[in-house]
Amino acid sequence: QVQLVESGGGLVQPGGSLRLSCAASGSIFSMYAMGWYRQAPGKQRELVATKASGGSTNYADSVKGRFTISRDNAKNTVSLQMNSLKPEDTAVYYCHAMFNNTATMTEYNYWGQGTQVTVSS
Q: To the nearest whole percent, how much of the chain has pLDDT over 90?
A: 81
Q: Which helix (H) or strand (E) holds 76?
A: none
Q: What does the alpha-carbon distance between residue 24 and residue 27 come to, in Å, rounded to a whole number?
A: 8
Q: To the nearest whole percent, how much of the chain has pLDDT over 70?
A: 99
At 101 the pLDDT is: 87
100 CB contacts (<8 Å, ≥6 apart)?
33, 106, 107, 108
For 58, half-sphere exposure in the C-beta direction (CA atoms, 13 angstrom radius) is 11
Nearest to 9 by CA among 97, 96, 89: 89
Give the range among 21-25, 80-84, 113-117 with minimum mean pLDDT.
21-25
Give the range among 8-22, 24-38, 48-62, 81-95 with minimum mean pLDDT.
24-38
Across the chain, what does the average pLDDT equal?
94
- Contact predicate 99/4, CB 8 Å: no
Nearest to 60 by CA among 98, 21, 86, 24: 86
List, for residues 36-64, the tens digit of each pLDDT value.
Answer: 999 999 999 999 999 988 889 999 999 99
